[in-house]
Structures are given as C-alpha cells and as structure tokens.
Structure 1
Amino acid sequence: MIELNAHTDDDILAIKVSGKLSKADLDDLKPALNKFTTVTDDPHLIMILEDFGGWADTAAFWKDLQLDAEFIGYFDRIAVVGDKQWQEWGTKLVNPITKEELMFFPIDQSKEAWNWVRSDH
C-alpha cells in the first residue's frame, strides 16, 4: 500500500509504503510523481518504508524499477526511512549511480530524515 502526502510549500513529496507493493499500486503512483515533479521547482522526496514486505510479484518489482529509471534525476534530495537492513543496503547500492543526494535513516530517526531532506531550503 502506498500513501502520498505532498508538502508543496516546502517541495517535499512524502511516500509511505507498507505491506507488499502491487503493480496497481505503482501504476497509481506514476501520475502523482508526474504531477509533483512538474509543479515544484526543487522537488525532494522522503520514502518511509514501514512494515514493507517487498513486491507482490515480478510484475510489481519490474514496474518499480521502471519508475525508478523514469524519475531518476528529478528529485534533488531523497531520504529513505526504513526498518530493515536490506533497505539500508539497497540505498547504499543505488547512491553512487544516481544524481540525487540519497541517504538512509532508520525508522526511529524519521525526524532527522525530515530535517535532512529540508536542509537545503
């Protein structure tokens, strides 16, 4: 499940992901990403992965990779907040190949993640 909260006053899109992601979840996310990246001058993203169980199937995983590839470079700063070690590893793995500033925060440091993602404003 994906919950969106756009903070257009400070150019931050918050995405909370829980459970298993389906292709339909990701299909619904694409228009919101398109809209947000076109209405903000300096878009930032905070992804909160709480009780995230991965992808429902390979179609969902593939759609997620397609979205990542499509929107790479659109956000200036991305904070990933998660509760699993593999999420931190994934963030560190992707960081060198993206133009965005990307940082992982454990779930109990979500306040610090918000401060970091806002810090260049």
Structure 2
Amino acid sequence: MIAIDEPPHVRRIDTDRDDAYAFEIVGHITSADVENLYGLLEGAYEIHDRIDVIVILHHYEGFDWQAAFKEQTMIGKTHALRHIRKYAFVGGPGWMSSIVSIVRPFFSMEIRHFELDQAEAAWEWIGAAPLKPTTPDEVKAGV
C-alpha cells in the first residue's frame, strides 16, 4: 500500500437532491484541489443542466492563486456560469463575504456567503440537506 502524504482538501457531501452538490474544503486549497472540484462539477453537468452548489470551508489556510489562472480552472469557471443556479459559500476568511458581494452582480447565478455557524441556513437557501454518512454496520444491515 502506498501512503498518501496529505489527504485531499476537497470532500463531496451527499445530499438529498440529485441536482444539489455539496463540498467541504479544509485547509490550504491547492491547484489539485481546484481541478478535483471542477472535475466533480463537470460530471454533475453531464447529468443535470442546472445544479445548486454549497461549499463549506473549514480551517481555511490559503489558496494557491496560480490555480485561479490555469486554463482548466478558467474552463471550469465558464461552465459553472452556465450550469449553477444557486451557489452558497459557507465559512472561510472574513473577506469572503465582501468578495461575494462585489462579484454577485456579474453572475447569472444566485450567490451568497454564510458564516460557518449559518450552515443550516445555507442548506435551506439551496433547498437541500446533507445525507447522513453510512457506517459500515449500516451497510451490513442493509440500511
């Protein structure tokens, strides 16, 4: 078995709606994390023309700004503009709310920032809920 130096910073959260996608991001966001996130979203666009997205940021430690200007990232941003109805950002640094307010008029999607303690309100806003993770015992019991 090969040991992984560092776990991925992006984790998908299952939701109660097929067209609602949720992600948890922890720590420093790398170029690989951005590519992973856009790759997951590209898969969603293949299934649904329009989706709602919630991204929950925990323990934010920075962002690889070079990732923002990579060709693949630019393509991902362009596709997002065509496919996302509502985009909720939860948590993150204090300046996140200001950035969302500044860029909101330039997007066709509805976009909002919520503080980490407002995560439930963010879920309500996109009209979805996280599914409880299934434990190995629940899988064995057929739950």
Bin the TM-score by the shorter chain: 0.7 to 0.9
1:73-112 matches, within 5 Å, as: 73-112=82-121
Hey, what does 1:118 align to over in structure 2? 127
Which entry has the higher C-alpha Rg, 1 or 2?
A: 2
Residue 41 of structure 1 deviates from its aligned partner by 4.5
Which ranges of structure 1 fall in alignment gaps of 5 or more residues? none
Calculate the TM-score normalised by the size of structure 1.
Answer: 0.83
Calculate the TM-score normalised by the size of structure 2.
Answer: 0.72
- Over the matched positions of the two proteins, sequence identity in percent amounts to 24
Distance 1:73 1:54 in 2: 27
Total equivalences in the alignment: 118
Find runs of 4+ consecutive structure 1 residues off by over 6 angstroms.
none
Residue 10 of structure 1 deviates from its aligned partner by 4.3
Which residue, 59, 62, 86 being the options, matches 2:66?
Answer: 59
Which ranges of structure 2 fall in alignment gaps of 5 or more residues? 1-8, 129-143
Measured on the aligned residues, the alpha-carbon RMSD in Å equals 2.1
